[in-house]
Amino acid sequence: MAKKKVLFIITQSQLGGAQKWLFDTVTNLDSDQFEIITAAPAGPLIDRISLAGIETREIKNFQRNINPLRDIFAFWEIYSLLKKEQPEILQLCSSKAGFLGALAGKLAGIKKILYRIGGWAFNDPRPAWQNQIILWLEKISAPLKHKIIVNSQRGYDEALKYKICPKEKLVLLYNGIDADKFLIFNSQFSIKEVKIGCIANDYPAKGLKYLHQAIKLLKAKSYQLKAIIVGTGTPIGPKDDPWQYLLEQSVDIFVIPSVKEGVPYVLLEAMAAGLPIVATTVGGIPEIIKDGQTGLLVPPKNPEKLAAAVERLLNDSDLRQRLANNARKEVAKYSLRKMISQYQQLLSH
């Protein structure tokens, strides 16, 4: 049986949740069934995929922010690539790739166009008129896509609420990880300094400023804390293996202060690592974390509530241990093997 050629396109090569999904997917798909090509701007993602032995192509004019001239050039790069490769399936990841890729795919006559979105971009903290334009673009391009993959029930419900596409076009596919690969953190909770870990690029959607504000509030109450934030735009910067870095730093608590999410990989990974977690009630996070059982949930953009939740953990060792143990058990539901199996079924039909 001939292999199906699948071309994956993503807007950014800078590592994040969407890039993690793409890397895990292309490196775990059945190579006997699928011929895989990945296209993105030059950067860490493309480098890693190339090292894994998978074909890559560069889209030079792709960038995250809107730039009409470069976006037009990126469109023609995608269209030319599609005409040359003629994939049977086009998999688009992230909003800009979703819009430009869907238009190019339709013009190039691609038979099956899939679109995967981690969290809808129109929920990002930006001016309302800009989010309205993004929502409008999602609605315009949705009819060109055969299936739209979301990674949370919240994202699924929002697609219906805002009438982006009919229910039959939506697919709910939760992220999955190989939990057994994560070393369990055995925090000592030094009285001298408690370490708060976070993995996030410094984008407004990640809410890092609220974490900084919460830590200031706690320091004002004489708690000795240190924030260890790994990601692009932070003082520490990105790391090839951020979890190994946090392990070496002996992180005690993991915090996700986001104002917009789908189901973040770092949430599943923190659960697998056996860390007590404080996270915001955005996107699909409350679908994964049960407040007081597998973590503590707080409203977004609220440093006071975030500080109070961290303070609960600082003062209650039994709570820390219970949350961490429960989370470690719960994350077994979100396996990489299950995610890949469900996605391959989608490609095969």
List the domains of the chain with CATH numbers. Answer: 4-176+335-348 (3.40.50.2000), 179-333 (3.40.50.2000)
The radius of gyration of the chain from alpha carbons, rounded to an integer in Å, stands at 20
Position 100, amino acid: L
Distance CA 62, CA 65 (A): 9
- Complete DSSP assignment for 266-315: HHHHHHHTT--EEEES-TTHHHHPPBTTTBEEE-TT-HHHHHHHHHHHHT
Q: What is the pLDDT of residues 316-331, one digit of tens each?
A: 999 999 999 999 999 9
Which strands sit side by side in the sheet containing 112-117, from one edge to the other?
55-58, 34-40, 4-10, 89-93, 112-117, 147-150, 170-172
Place of tokens 């934030």: 229
Among the listed residues 47, 36, 37, 61, the one whose alpha carbon sits nearest the alpha carbon of residue 14: 47
In the chain, which stretches have pLDDT less than 50? none
Among the listed residues 263, 275, 231, the one whose alpha carbon sits nearest the alpha carbon of residue 334: 263
pLDDT of residue 184: 82
Token pair of 219 as six digits: 């320091």
Q: How many Cα atoms occupy the beta-carbon half-sphere of 117 within 13 Å?
A: 28
Predicted TM-score (pTM) above 0.75: yes
pLDDT of residue 240: 86
pLDDT of residue 191: 61
pLDDT of residue 15: 85
- In three-state secondary structure terms, 46 is helix
Size of the chain, expressed as the number of residues it contains: 349
Token pair of 163 as six digits: 């009438």
